[in-house]
Structure 1
Amino acid sequence: MITIEQAIEKTGMWTGRPARPERIASGITNVNWRICLDDTHETFFLKIHGPGTENLIDRELAHEATIKAAATGYAPQLLFYDEADGIEVYEFLHGFRSCNVIDLQHPTIRANILKAYKAIHSSQFMSRTKTGFDQLNDHLSRLKEIDAELPEDMDHILWQVSRARDAIQAAGMETCACFNDAYVYNYMVNDALDVKIIDWEYASGNDPYWDIAMFSFESVFIGENEIEQTLALYNGASDAATAARVYLYIGVACIVWGCWATYQSRTSSIPFDFGKYADILFLRGRAVMTVPEWDRALATV
């Protein structure tokens, strides 16, 4: 992986200027830096692609999504991009901080995140589609290549996923530009409770309700009443079929990201306990799939 000094030089943005890097200790995929210019007090955000992430991330699609999301005003502007060396430079979001799970319970923050999603979903479309089921298939193929250990009940889990896939495909699906990654720290908020969504690396054309499901999962709003409340904020109303779709997607998304974390546990050099994270995600997926609401959602979607 390229060093921060090499990355600063490679951008050519601050040649001859006192560009001081400060490590940002967040993120579980890439290495992030704050670049401070002591002469003008400007600040920039610089990302270096994590080692091995090219096996997980379609960088061409991620770049497309980054540009399109920024065009809506709900994502930061990209200022420099070098795919070969894995460097991205963004405007620094002054006054914004990463959300936590408590923030996602705040009614205004929740409403503004869903407003951002609605604006992006209704105006942006991607050149390629990767549904949640496509994402899972990609992860399973990677895990097979490295002979990764999966849960003992994985066959049963995948059978439940196939039931959800068949039900949703029979009902039909429309696609748009989707974020596909509701990790809580990717939501940024300022004192006025304005929202930005960062890190569009896993974006693709997908069912917009996949994003709503992942947001519901990350904010722990996964009960039937809570899903209905979330859909009412997003759509202005909720209906039984859409709520059932979101519920099914929550279960599938847990498995998708459990597989992602399992792969990372075998390949990533970033100091994060991906194995434990995978265990938690598989547990949460089981919890969604082994209650009466799951079969009810299959029949309703």
Structure 2
Amino acid sequence: MSGDRVLGAARNDTERCVEAALAAIEPWQGKRLEYAPVLGGLQNSNWRITVEGNDTRYFLKIPGAGSETFIDRGLANEAARRAGVKGIGPELVHFDADTGVEVIEFLEGYRACTNGDFKDASIPHQIIDIYRVLHDGELLSTTKTMFDMIDEHLGQARELGVRLPEDVELILGEYQVAKEALLASGLDLAACHNDPMPGNFLVGDGQPMKLVDYEFASNNERAYELALLTTEMFYTEELINELVEAFYGRADFGLLARVQVCSALADTKWGLWACVNQQLSTAWDFDYHKYGCWKLMRARLKMSDPRWPFWLKAL
């Protein structure tokens, strides 16, 4: 295939890493393999693979250095396999538990969503349809709630000496209040994806949307899954109300409050994650610390909303 590299013709360390991963896949050994980069991953190295004699092409993901700090590879594999079986994700065909290298079917005719796609209100409704399928049925083997994630990142930040905003204690104080209120109300656990980055949703003309990249999947509060989506996309309150009704089948104040509180926790979680992530590697071509501080500021803005205490009381 024009533009693809043939196994054995690596020109640099990145391509040699790809070839080492491909050489370890036993069913492909001895076959002619071609590989080409796929753009879009923030941390991982992604590649399209063509295998001699196979009509299907494949998507190879090689985890980025340092990403193991945040990711349970076994759990991610469990969630990805389940999604493939349910038909909401691509079929998973290979997984190396030691390296985290994963191979899934390459979805021909699909492309990753962009932020621009999410301006179309039909997109979040399609996502909610996927979430319903994902959340239905048995829980995953591991529960890791937004509280576990936030507390883990706080521990990492302290251990690594990560610089956080001066007003972070105000945010963390409200986080503790919200945590106590949500735990007192009882968590509604479901098998969640936990990472609604636009590029994780694939669309194709006349094809059902697919959800990929289950690295942050775990059993978590159901409302947090929706809150992540609405927060990530800056959706208006009018659209949030509409999506809550589509998600739950109703939109009473208690459910709306639950999603609003979880949206502040979502920004707290990802804000801390980004600040910690910046400290783990200087190789990222992205200012994670700036991004993390912005997320934390937005969490504080939500927590300073005059309705915040009423949302907490409604949980």
**TM-score bucket (shorter structure):** over 0.9
Q: Distance in 2 between matches of 1:5 and 1:292?
A: 56
Equivalent residue, structure 2, for 1:201: 215
Equivalent residue, structure 2, for 1:153: 167
Q: Distance in 1 between matches of 2:185 and 2:239?
A: 23
CA contact (8 A) 1:227 1:247 kept: no
- 1:244-259 equivalences in 2 (<5 Å): 244-259=257-272
Q: Distance in 2 between matches of 1:261 and 1:241?
A: 30
1:292 aligns with 2:267: no
TM-score by length of 2: 0.90
Equivalent residue, structure 2, for 1:242: 255
Q: Distance in 1 between matches of 2:155 and 2:205?
A: 43
- 1:65-104 equivalences in 2 (<5 Å): 65-104=79-118
Shift of 1:230: 0.6
Shift of 1:285: 1.4
CA contact (8 A) 2:145 2:220 kept: yes
Shift of 1:129: 1.0
Q: Which moved further from structure 2: 27-36 or 44-53?
A: 27-36
Aligned length: 300
Shift of 1:222: 5.1
Match of 2:239 among 214, 226, 236: 226
Q: Secondary structure at the match of 1:278?
A: helix
CA contact (8 A) 2:174 2:303 kept: yes
Shift of 1:40: 5.1
**1:57-87 CA deviation, whole Å, 9 max, x = no partner?**
1112212111222221111111000121231
Match of 1:106 among 120, 130, 145: 120
1:25 aligns with 2:26: no
Shift of 1:217: 1.0
Q: What stretches of structure 1 move > 6 A for 4+ residues in a row?
A: none
CA contact (8 A) 1:109 1:193 kept: no
CA contact (8 A) 2:73 2:100 kept: no
CA contact (8 A) 1:258 1:278 kept: yes
CA contact (8 A) 1:68 1:124 kept: no
- 1:92-171 equivalences in 2 (<5 Å): 92-171=106-185
1:270 aligns with 2:276: no
Q: Distance in 2 between matches of 1:39 and 1:300?
A: 59
CA contact (8 A) 1:33 1:46 kept: yes
For structure 2, which runs of at least 5 residues remain unmatched after alignment? 1-13
1:189 aligns with 2:203: yes
Percent identity over paired residues: 33
Q: Secondary structure at the match of 2:50?
A: strand
Equivalent residue, structure 2, for 1:260: 273
Whichever of the two has the greater Rg, that structure is: 2
